[in-house]
């Protein structure tokens, strides 16, 4: 293989393995791997990290403009750039979707329409008339989600009394009381606390125009709806909401003021060093609004830092348009890029990998966060997803960062070992009662939050998932802990969660292809024989859903309709996930793997990249989809590397012999025999 360059353009050594080590490789694989390595190295930031765009949908852009309108800081340049992007996402029928090729979505279409009205697009323009007609045909504003109607209520386009009540007194509920704020997933918690302040104050700023054209009947925009039966959960929570509306009229003023003051302190205490909240855009938006309503002027340091952080979510494009990211993913992207490069043969001491390791080590979180409410005695450790998010490290990133660091021969191994030890201990401490792992919290499984009339915007709890659990199990296997009782409980949970089809559900990636692509490598790394029935069922399912072109794809609609499981246009990332599972299951010489590898080789672009307009990432299943722009690079390279050089860890794996990995080799082999016997 030819020499490569690191992210700063410094000549570097090529991969550690040569083609001769992998007889029978398909033609073109080595060249495709070289191109992909060069492309990824060229994208590394000089500081050592990688970050691809995180594309979601136009509600992020619309709500950014509505925030600026509410605060009185909307300017023409920003509005023009945002409108360019929003218009560019509109389809021929006048609607907007929440993912590429997806069906029209009512709330997204309403918010995009309002954003274009703010930008000056007249309601009788053809593209606007098509949008408003479609909105009316689907029930108008009254049929939109609660979050959309909250935004409209800020300008008097909807009545606050027609929204679910969110009392700020919620912050006083102790963690053992149902529906306390820690019963919600961290992303929902960070959003709900500031919204309790907004709901209590019910602000209305003068609307710049009317929106009568978005109602089915402008004279009666919110017709009465029949309540659910009292004996049902929905009926019970609807009546509780009515009681809260009544409570609002009689809430003691001192208690309400104390609740809002407590909420303000809670918000400010969780502002990150870069001014954001949790590293994600929605909580930042609502926190800024809440604090502004409580008297924090725009020049206040908290507000100034918050607004500056929101500007960093903007991606300016060559055509002059401006896209807003809901979040940024540098830690996730960096650890996945390091894994891809190492598995593709880049030397463990390559400058690019050393810079990535140094940057990841600098991002370790060593202070406590909200997770400690459920795990008060657990020492901090681990990594978050974003540049700055010390309050909410996550279990998934921590597992993958450990797996990345284990591939790198860092000149200060003691420093690496100490960070890994803290991360592993923290992840083990975050195991839920059922033996599995969620993303941010332990045992965040209350059935009540999803029942609230307010919670119609997506997943609001953080139960354990197969993909996160699989990544933790894989990490523990690499750390020589396959025989540990906690690891075995995780493995048992994964085996019990397998679908009848042979697939696993993917919570944070789309969907069954992602879940299966995560679980099978974890189980085999932990020593489950490739002949195990669960592995064979997974292989059979993957082979059954392979597309004619040799790739794999799965549409977001599989979250709503299981008939879509494993079905969709082939994508580079999903093809790679399927290949990673098949390769770990010992199928390297199989026809499915050959066709999948050939698909990646043939669809690669000349610059070493792959094109992928489809959304293969997941924020909330079905409700919030993500196109991680780096997924199309890191996962295909990982699959190609493992095809050429084999599995990265385990008996005979190339990392167990390195100086940083010797300690794991013996326990892994020993535990493999134990698991094989149990299986």
Residues labelled catalytic: 396
Beta bridge partners of 97: 104
> Considering only CA atoms, which of 219, 241, 239 is closest in space to residue 229?
239
How many CB atoms sit inside 10 A of residue 622's CB? 19
Whole-angstrom CA distances from 119 to 129, 210, 549 are: 15, 14, 43
Chain CA centroid to CA 52, Å:
13
Distance CA 660, CA 120 (A): 60
SS3 percent helix, strand, coil of the chain, rounded to 5, is 50, 5, 45
- For residue 245, what are the contacts with CB-CB under 8 A and spacing of at least 6? 161, 165
Cα–Cα nearest to 186, from 396, 377, 28: 396
What is d(CA 362, CA 14) in angstroms, rounded to the nearest whole number? 27
The encoded tokens of residue 155 equal 């300008």
Instruction: Provide the terminal-to-terminal Cα distance of the chain, rounded to the nearest Å.
Output: 41
Q: How far apart are CA 509 and CA 517, in angstroms?
A: 10
- Per the CB < 8 A criterion, the answer to whether 653 and 660 are in contact is no
In order of 193, 201, 242, 246, 290, the CA distances from 253 in angstroms are 19, 12, 20, 15, 18
* Pairing, β 54-55 against β 624-628: antiparallel
Which is nearest to 487 in space by CA: 438, 427, 413? 427
Question: Rounded distance, CA 233 to CA 224, Å?
Answer: 20
The DSSP result for 455-511, as a single string, is --SS--SB---HHHHHHHHHHHHHTT-TTSHHHHHHHHHHHHH--TTS----SSBSS
- Distance CA(456)–CA(623), nearest Å, equals 9
CB atoms within 10 A of CB 561: 11
């Amino acid at each position: 293989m030819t020499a490569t360059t690191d992210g700063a353009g410094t000549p570097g050594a090529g991969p550690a393995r040569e083609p001769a080590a992998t007889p029978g490789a398909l033609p073109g694989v080595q060249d495709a791997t070289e191109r992909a390595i060069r492309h990824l190295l060229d994208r590394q930031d000089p500081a050592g990290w990688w970050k691809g765009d995180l594309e979601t949908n136009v509600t992020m852009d619309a709500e950014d403009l509505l925030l600026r309108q509410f605060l009185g800081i909307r300017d023409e340049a920003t509005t023009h750039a945002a409108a360019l992007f929003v218009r560019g996402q509109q389809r021929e029928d006048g609607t907007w979707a929440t993912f590429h090729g997806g069906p029209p979505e009512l709330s997204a279409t309403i918010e995009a329409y309002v954003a274009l009205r703010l930008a000056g697009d007249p309601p009788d323009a053809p593209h606007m008339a098509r949008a408003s007609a479609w909105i009316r045909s689907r029930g108008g504003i009254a049929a939109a989600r609660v979050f959309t109607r909250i935004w409209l209520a800020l300008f008097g386009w909807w009545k606050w009394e027609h929204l679910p009540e969110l009392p700020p007194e919620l912050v006083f509920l102790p963690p053992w009381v149902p529906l306390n704020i820690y019963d919600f997933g961290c992303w929902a918690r960070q959003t709900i606390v500031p919204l309790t302040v907004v709901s209590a104050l019910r602000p209305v700023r003068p609307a710049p125009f009317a929106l009568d054209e978005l109602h089915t009947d402008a004279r009666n925009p919110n017709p009465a709806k029949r309540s659910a039966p009292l004996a049902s959960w929905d009926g019970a929570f609807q009546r509780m909401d009515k009681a809260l509306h009544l409570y609002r009229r009689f809430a003691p003023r001192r208690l309400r003021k104390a609740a809002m003051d407590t909420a303000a302190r809670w918000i400010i205490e969780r502002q990150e060093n870069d001014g954001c909240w949790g590293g994600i855009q929605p909580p930042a938006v609502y926190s800024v609004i809440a604090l502004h309503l409580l008297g924090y002027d725009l020049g206040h340091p908290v507000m100034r830092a918050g607004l500056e952080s929101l500007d960093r979510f903007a991606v300016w494009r060559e055509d002059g348009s401006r896209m807003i990211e809901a979040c940024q993913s540098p830690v996730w992207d960096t650890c996945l890029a390091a894994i891809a490069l190492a598995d593709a043969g880049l030397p463990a001491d390559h400058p690019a990998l050393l810079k990535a390791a140094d940057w990841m080590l600098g991002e370790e979180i060593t202070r406590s966060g909200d997770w400690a409410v459920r795990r008060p005695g657990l020492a901090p450790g681990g990594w978050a997803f974003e540049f700055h998010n010390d309050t909410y490290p996550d279990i998934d990133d921590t597992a993958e960062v450990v797996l990345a660091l284990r591939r790198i021969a860092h000149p200060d191994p003691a420093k690496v070992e100490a960070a890994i030890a803290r991360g592993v201990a923290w992840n083990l401490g975050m195991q839920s009662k059922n033996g599995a792992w969620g993303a941010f919290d332990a045992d965040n499984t209350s059935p009540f939050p999803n029942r609230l009339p307010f919670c119609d915007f997506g997943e609001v709890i953080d139960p354990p998932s197969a993909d996160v659990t699989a990544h933790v199990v894989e990490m523990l296997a690499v750390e020589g802990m396959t025989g540990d009782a906690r690891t075995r409980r995780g493995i048992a949970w994964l085996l019990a969660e397998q679908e009848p089809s042979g697939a696993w559900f993917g919570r944070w990636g789309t969907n069954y292809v992602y879940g299966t692509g995560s679980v099978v490598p974890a189980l085999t790394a932990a020593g489950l024989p490739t002949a195990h029935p669960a592995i064979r069922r997974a292989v059979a399912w993957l082979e059954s859903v392979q597309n004619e072109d040799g790739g794999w794809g799965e549409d977001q609609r599989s979250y709503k309709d299981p008939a879509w499981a494993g079905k969709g246009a082939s994508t580079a990332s999903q093809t790679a996930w399927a290949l990673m599972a098949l390769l770990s299951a010992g199928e390297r010489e199989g026809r499915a793997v050959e066709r999948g590898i050939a698909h990646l080789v043939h669809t690669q672009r000349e610059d070493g990249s792959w094109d992928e307009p489809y959304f293969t990432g997941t924020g909330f299943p079905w409700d919030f989809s993500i196109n991680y722009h780096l997924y199309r690079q890191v996962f295909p390279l990982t699959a190609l590397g493992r095809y050429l050089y084999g599995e990265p860890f385990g008996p005979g794996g190339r990392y167990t012999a390195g100086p940083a990995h010797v300690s794991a080799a013996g326990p892994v082999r020993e535990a493999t025999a134990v698991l094989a016997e149990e299986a």
